[in-house]
Chains A and B, each alone.
Chain A
């Protein structure tokens, strides 16, 4: 793991995960909402697992309620891993 985590690293990891979950690659951008990406609660739990594994940051289901976009997630991960 690098000393500091960048937004770009987090967004790339999340993008790869969402594509694996079945989201349209072209539709994925940092401000797309979960609804626009057809991401549901089960996908979000899996996203949280990816974040924990790749960046060592634990995101709870309580946190998730306030995270509406990919950018929200990457902001939180960067802030917590700083």
Chain B
């Protein structure tokens, strides 16, 4: 029989604050973490949890990952180390861009002072696998470790890869998720040049007035363990990671396929991997970026993959409350989905007020929706520039 996988711990640093619960409760109550058109983690103080040396040896995207991991391991009961051989613990953490602050600072040093003033920490801090390497080092996790890079699907790909790693028997537990710290002028200007970001500064997924995404920073981390082993040690089981699938649009560098075919295929394959039917799905945690193209294509994909069921369930976007965390988005959304099925409550899509023809699902704009199933099943969608689609299927904790 295939190995089953439990989520035993979660951690998050988001514009709603430090902590997964802070994010979950903030979103449920309709609070927004966006200010001045961006999602800053203004409550995050790297010095509060990292030594001066560790903080200096980490780009902000790695600092955020270390902070979220610190919370996740404590919540899983791993404060004193993993409950199994550390050589059997993997680390998979995605990022869309990596250490862009480090990149920009070193480019400035090169231009203004010449090559001898470029820091030896330049490459090791900016590399996209730095968060995974730093987390493995800090917690002495000696199994397979690497980063996933697929733009705004990177966090979800990391969690999917971790699920596969567990099922393949390459590890008995995996620390996984995503991290991003993109709030620098280079990223602002580049996303603005392609007209991907909102000029109004309002994240309103699925609303007719949406005009682009609101960029944010943060990290989300999940602890995955063999379900039976987790039960045996009496671990807190927050949810079961039921399935995962990934596809490619093979359509355009930045635009999704207009009919959402690649996304729909990923959703169907994730359901098949989870061994559940469309009619079993109780909630979709949408990618919901607030861009004109995504929200239309994603709505089409949800209808294609779930059929009639699509109209009977809430479809909500965390990005309405925190903005788009790029490579961390899929990870913080997976954390939110885990807590939604655990508490059997789907948080609302904020700022929604005007319907658009064809965008006619229940985006739950007026408040949370209870999930009445004993063990709700939820999908968490993530789609990235490059045509990458990754979908996770999460179920309530088994009795």
Tell me which of A22, A42, A53 contacts B51 (CB under 8 A): A22
**Chain B 239-267 interface residues, beta-carbon cutoff 8 Å to A:** none
CA distance A53 to B56 in the complex (A): 20
> What total of chain A residues lie within 8 Å of the partner, measured CB to CB?
11
Nearest-CB residue, chain B, relative to A39 = B53
> CB of A9 within 8 A of chain B?
no
Provide the residues of chain A in CB contact with B120, threshold 8 Å: 42, 45-46
- Cα–Cα, bound, A23→B52 (Å): 8
Tell me which residues across on chain A come within 8 A of B57, comparing CB atoms. Answer: 42
Number of interface residues of B (CB under 8 A): 13
Interface residues of B in 120-158 (CB under 8 A from A): 120-121, 124
Q: Would you give the 0/1 interface string for B106-131, flagging 1 where the beta carbon is closer than 8 Å to chain A? A: 00000000001101110010000000
Cα of A22 to Cα of B124 in the assembled complex, Å: 17
Apart from A22-B52, A23-B53, A49-B117, what 15 extra A-B contacts exist at CB < 8 Å? A20-B52, A21-B56, A22-B53, A22-B54, A22-B55, A22-B56, A42-B120, A42-B121, A45-B120, A46-B119, A46-B120, A46-B121, A49-B116, A52-B116, A53-B117
Give the A-binding residues of B (Cβ under 8 A).
51-57, 116-117, 119-121, 124
Chosen A-B contacts, 23 in total, with CB atoms closer than 8 Å, are A20-B52, A20-B56, A21-B52, A21-B53, A21-B56, A22-B51, A22-B52, A22-B53, A22-B54, A22-B55, A22-B56, A23-B53, A38-B53, A42-B57, A42-B120, A42-B121, A42-B124, A45-B120, A49-B116, A49-B117, A49-B119, A52-B116, A53-B117
